[in-house]
Structures are given as C-alpha cells and as structure tokens.
Amino acid sequence: MLSTLGGSQRLLQVLLLLLAVAVLLLVAFLRVDMELFRPLLSGEPEDPPVTNIMFLKTHKTASSTVLNILYRFAESHNLSTALPAGGRVHLGYPWLFLARYVEGVEEAGPGARRRFNIMCNHLRFNLPEVRKVMPEDTFYFSILRDPVHQLESAFTYYKGYVPAFRNVKTLDAFLASPQQFYGDGQELSNAYARNNMWFDLGFDHNAPPEEGYVRARLAEVEQRFQLVLIAEHFDESVVLLRHLLRWHLDDVVAFRLNLRSERTVAHLAPESRELARRWCALDWRLYQHFNRTLWERLYTELGPERLLTDVARLRARRRELAELCLQDGAPQNQVLITDRLLRPFQSGQADILGYNLRPDLDNATLHMCQRMVMPELQYMAHLYSQQFPEKPRKVIPFLEG
C-alpha cells in the first residue's frame, strides 16, 4: 500500500515536472512567435515601402496636405522628385502635362530621360507623358472632394483670377445663373469654375454628363489609379494609403495645410448645393463613385475593427505631434506667423492659415516640425535647391523683399 502511494507521488512529480518544462517551452515559443508578428500587431509594415509614386494633385481637395506627406517622405528617404522646371511652380497647368515641364528630365543623356521617384505637383493628367517621367512600377493615386465644397473653396480662392467668378459677388448668385457668367467656358482658367476635378484628370469639363461617356471615363480612372482618396474621409483614406504603400505611421501623420479661416468659408443654402451638383454633374458622379469604392475597399482590405484602430492611432499620433511642435496648438492667421518662411500664400478672398512652432525645440525636433508645417511653395523651392544646387533657386515672390 505504501509502495503504491509512493509510486503515485513519484509519477505525479514527474508529470508536474514535464508540465513545467512544457509551459517553459510554450512561453519561449510564444515569445519568438510574438516577435515575428510584432510589426503586424503594431500596424507597422514588414516589407519594403513603395517608393515610386504619382499623386494627381487636384485643386481645393486637401491635396496640399497630401503633397506635404509626399515631400517629407521623399526628403527623408533621399528620393528624387519631379519638380517644375525653371521658375515654374506647377507642371504646366492648366495645359495637359508634358514631360519637358519637369526639371532635369532630359539630363539622363542623349535620347534618354531621367526617371523620378515622386511626382505630386499640380498638373493636368496626361498618362503617355507621365510615363516618360515615372517608372513602370509607379503607384498612382489621387484625391477628390464633394464638388459642392470644392466649388465653394475654388470660388473664394480664385475669385479674381477666374473670368466666370470676377463679376459676381457670391457663389449663390453665380449658381443661380452660371451660364450668364461662364459663357462658352472655353478659357482654360474657367476650368476652376466647373468640373475642375474632371478637368484635372485630363477630361473635357464641359462634356454633357451622358451615361455612356461618364461610365467610360470612370473605368479609365479605376484602371489607372490604384487608389482615390476622399477629402471628407481623410483619415480613413490615409490609413488605407499607408497600408497599400507599406509606410510607417509617422510617414503619413500630417497637419492640415492651406486651410482657410472659418470666416472665409461660405455656407451655401440647400438649393445652392443642389444647383452646384447639377452644374458640376461630372464631378458629382466622379465623387459618388469613388466615395463608394473607397468604403468598399476599407472594409474589404482592412475590416471595421482594424480601420477603427488604425484611425485612432493616426489621430492620437497627430495630437502628440501637435503638442510637441505647435506653439498655439492650432493654425493661425498668416499675420501672426512669426517665421516668414512658414507664412502661407494668400489668394483671392481666402484667409489661409499657418502655424507657429514652439521656441524651445531641439535641432532634430525643429527640423521635423518645420517640414510638417512648411507651405507647399516654400517646400517645393527647398527640394528644388537640394536636388538642383547648380541651378538658380526658385523665387517665391510673396516672400521676397
């Protein structure tokens, strides 16, 4: 009886020892396993990032904020950027893009063209010419905005430049009788006044919105662009962009740039909003289609849970960087910006806001924060001087003197 009891105790001890060993092995395995999957669990990519990118920068769609993201990525990764040649600040807009509008494109040697990693300045899309500048494996994307808000912003920003806007006091008055001010619409500068996003894509902004024509053009955009962001869902769009480009979180965190003060934002009456959708019917169809496809892709490629988590992480990191970088915590009127190199360009009736940085930043943090708030004209001139130090620098007229 005693020997049986002793044997049972020894067996129990052996089993407990084996169990302890198994637990230790399992813990060790899980530790290794977790290390292997840590990038996935944290939302950070494992594979190399996409570095050949063409962004079609549409007008008045939050595209300046996207441009800042791309400029920062290009600079931090020592990538080449397709910048406007000479003293230009855009790539030939409003004319269809030509490769010769890019600085240095002919410098690869006789009969050859230089290829660039990033293209993101304003241009009117012309795929055959873009292909002369960008590599074969380029990732193409763009951004759209509700045409009601896009047209309202364009009216304020381009009030003195666009012929259709010059002789009318308000956008409501323009929309009540647009053809009276627009005329035949053949002046290229009038493209800002009707279906401007459609125009930026290289299409005829005055074309009748016939179903067959619209469907064919939407199919063209889907075939060429791997992603179309939506300004009204900017954070969700950027989360998906980061996923597709395999970038890190800090690569896509950004402050809003080229932002107007609330006092220069017009709030249209419901009937004017409906008139704007009819007047810009091509843009409205474009926006509806890609707003729908964006959400389909978000739920298919990320899923609701990951989407919520990634958006929350993006916003939390933006708040952290705002607290770290910004003296006022919010954008300010340009007359209050103490660093003149950070003052944004002012246009039309818009009051474009900018940022002040905290005065106590160390050099590395100051460099990072400056890049996050630098207006696009200044950043473009900065990259140009870095990329082409032998050429005369870009002149930004409103900063001179």
CA separation for the pair 144, 62 (Å, rounded):
9
Q: What is the dihedral of CA 290, 292, 295, 297, to 10 degrees?
A: -60
Asked if the structure places residue 152 within a domain, the reply is yes
Task: Copy the structure tokens of residue 304.
Answer: 């609701």
The verdict on residue 21 lying in a domain is no
Domain harbouring 141, CATH code: 3.40.50
CA 15 to CA 376: how far, in whole Å? 69
Residue 184 lies in a domain: yes
What are the phi and psi torsion angles at 104 (to 5°)? 80, 5
Q: Tens-digit pLDDT profile for the chain (401 aa)?
A: 434 545 556 665 656 666 655 555 554 444 434 333 434 444 677 899 999 999 999 999 999 999 999 999 999 999 999 999 999 999 999 999 999 999 999 866 666 779 999 999 999 999 999 999 999 999 999 999 999 999 999 999 999 999 999 999 999 999 999 999 998 878 899 999 999 999 999 999 999 999 999 999 999 999 999 999 999 999 999 999 999 999 999 999 999 999 999 988 988 999 999 999 999 999 999 999 999 999 999 999 999 999 999 999 999 999 999 999 999 888 999 899 999 899 999 998 889 999 999 999 999 999 999 999 999 999 999 999 999 999 999 988 777 65
* Residue 222 Cα distances to 79, 228, 294, 392, angstroms: 27, 9, 11, 40
Range of the domain at 122: 53-392
Evaluate whether 272 touches 174 at the Cβ level (below 8 Å).
no
Instruction: From residue 295, give the alpha-carbon distance in Å to each of 23, 159, 237, 239.
Output: 44, 34, 9, 12
- Tell me how far apart the alpha carbons of residues 152 and 118 are, in angstroms, rounded to a whole number: 30
Take residue 315 and report the two structure tokens written for it. 């916003």
| 214 falls within a domain | yes
Question: 162-218, pLDDT tens digit by residue?
Answer: 999 999 999 999 999 999 999 887 889 999 999 999 999 999 999 999 999 999 999
Q: Strand 118-119 vs strand 53-56: parallel, antiparallel, or unpaired?
A: parallel
Does some domain include residue 22?
Answer: no
First vs last C-alpha separation in the chain: 105
Quote the CA–CA distance of 87 and 102 in Å, as a whole number: 11
Whether residue 374 contacts residue 382, with contact meaning beta carbons closer than 8 Å, is answered with yes
- As for how many domains the chain has, the answer is 1
Residue 320 inside a domain? The answer is: yes
Sheet holding 139-144, edge to edge: 118-119, 53-56, 139-144, 227-230
Q: Is residue 73 part of a domain?
A: yes
Is 33 within the bounds of a domain? no
Helix, strand, coil tally for the chain in percent (to 5): 55, 5, 40
